Structure 1
Amino acid sequence: MTITETGIQELPVDLLDPNPDNPRRSVGDVTELADSIRSQGIKQNLLVVPHDLTDGDRVEHRYRVVIGHRRLAAAKQAGLATVPCKVEALAHREELEIMLVENTQREQLTVLEEADAIQGLLQLGATIQQTADQLGRSQTYIRERRRIARIGDRVRESREDFAQLSFTELQAIAEFDGDLEAQEELAGAAGGNEFAWTLDRCRDRRERRKWVGEARDAIGGLGLESLPVDVERYFMSPDGYELARSFSGVEDSFRDQWRDYAQDHDTDNLFVHVFDDAAVVVAYRAAESDASDMKARRERQRHEREAQAERERPFRELDERSRRLREQWTARPCSSSNSTG
């Protein structure tokens, strides 16, 4: 019998290599299993495939584990020199399918580990339907984990316990594929009380960005000109222009709002400005006398804002002092009091 033939064989543990594609990233603590193996031996064979390592002209015949990673680790810990193995010749995709089914049936995989393994199968040519049938899952189940598998390394590495996040949290992070800012925010908030609030904020920001993008496209198609001056606020008329209308609200697109507006208003000689927080202002050039009045009005508004800020300054300073006192108080070390009796 040669060491490379298939069938049940006692193989040296030194010739067995863990499978790099094993969905389960860690075998965990195998101390109890090692104790059991010392007293009773290995009751179930490992499944391995032959693989050769080449070093120049030298070829070393070795084996890669498909099923039995924990048993191999425990056998090494127990001091066994050989372990019983069933040797089979399997295609790479077959290896991954077997490992995935074995681990999911034993409920040993995290959501992320399972997602990565499913993605690996799909990359090897398996269809969503084939993978669903193999695992006894729905196609929706497979698609959801495929989306989770697309979460990039930068987000995964943003926290040490990322692999332990729940399916709901990972699903929410995967929802923002391509939006690294949102994914990192959600990863940071996962496991805390503010996760739902952060998710709502990210979704709202996404809707606003979508609305703004569609508004810019619509404005280009309508042939409207951009305001040639800076616009500070969507409710304030810019220098030399009079505010005609502002549009906002992501529920209705700018195109639809503009269409309703244009039915009852003259839209000639209008200029527009788009704000990133989902608002569009439309203005017309003011007459010279109006422009002079407007400049004076804006100057009054500026003085009023400065006066208001000055009135609020003592309250802000008091607020800041109070905050610092609270921080100093909470940072004080607790001292234990001695009692005599």
Structure 2
Amino acid sequence: MIRLDTPAALDAALRALPAPDASARAAAAARQAELTKPRGSLGRLEEIALFMAGWQGRAIPKLERGRVAIFAGNHGVAARGVSAFPPEVTAQMVANFAAGGAAINALAAAAGLELTVTALELDRPTDDIAETAAMSEAECGEALMAGVAAVEPGLDLLVPGEMGIANSTVAAALCAAALGGDAADWVGPGSGVSGAAATAKIDAVARALTRHRARANTPFEALRRLGGRELAAMAGAVIAARHARVPVLLDGFIATAPLAPLAVAAPTITDHCLPGHRSAEPGHARLLAGLGLAPLLALDLRLGEASGGAVAAAVVRAALTAHERMATFADAGVSAG
């Protein structure tokens, strides 16, 4: 198992990111050229198939075992009134996941994906980022390793997701520290706040940036100071997936935010990631642009829970099914022109 529980271990993992299998991708491209369609006529579906082939290391990639991995955490900054819901809702939604009653339960099932949920010390919120670092070094390391543990051998696709009241606040702070801009550039309605709550949210992020921005200059320190347990866990899961050559399908603003500080240090960290959708959260479009990612879908979703990623998994499955099951010109006796 890869270790990410210290700053040095995280930095070493980011310096040793593996590349895709060029020969498998080339073989997939050769197959694409022989399928019974005009070249390029399936657009991004063709590119998805090649992407998956390169990371899975096989010319005909599969989606037999895809996993939605939800991480849940609570945040001290919630006490500032930055969310439309109280912190107790995090644990209540984890129970809802366990009972099978949440949107992600339905959407993961529809996409043929398994679902795991990891609750990260919900009775012990992180500290308020507007006042101090969210986590100690040990706490951040434990959260990163919780993400690593979610990446098991045999996965064909990983879809990280989150649950945590006030986590759009810490996501905005992470993005601003990594990619530039001020609090107002990154703060959005999140759970649906407006008025005084929106003002409190912007103020909390502005205070956090003033306090931490200069020292949040490495991936570990950014996650430790400005993130949360579930955001650090998603970062750990993405890095572990890269080292295991498991392709990652990204969800919305909060699930993508942990990539921002990673990408500053290691710009190729996104090479094994497909952006599933562009959410309705205003900062998400800016974040995707900053990471150079073009989303597969834009459905005005803003739920989180990996919901948009699960919906996009159906597009990935369609791309792989077409790549595998279409006849070649030779098989079908069709002239290639």
Question: So what's the TM-score if we normalise by structure 1?
Answer: 0.24
Of Structure 1 and Structure 2, the greater strand share is in: 1
Larger Rg: 1
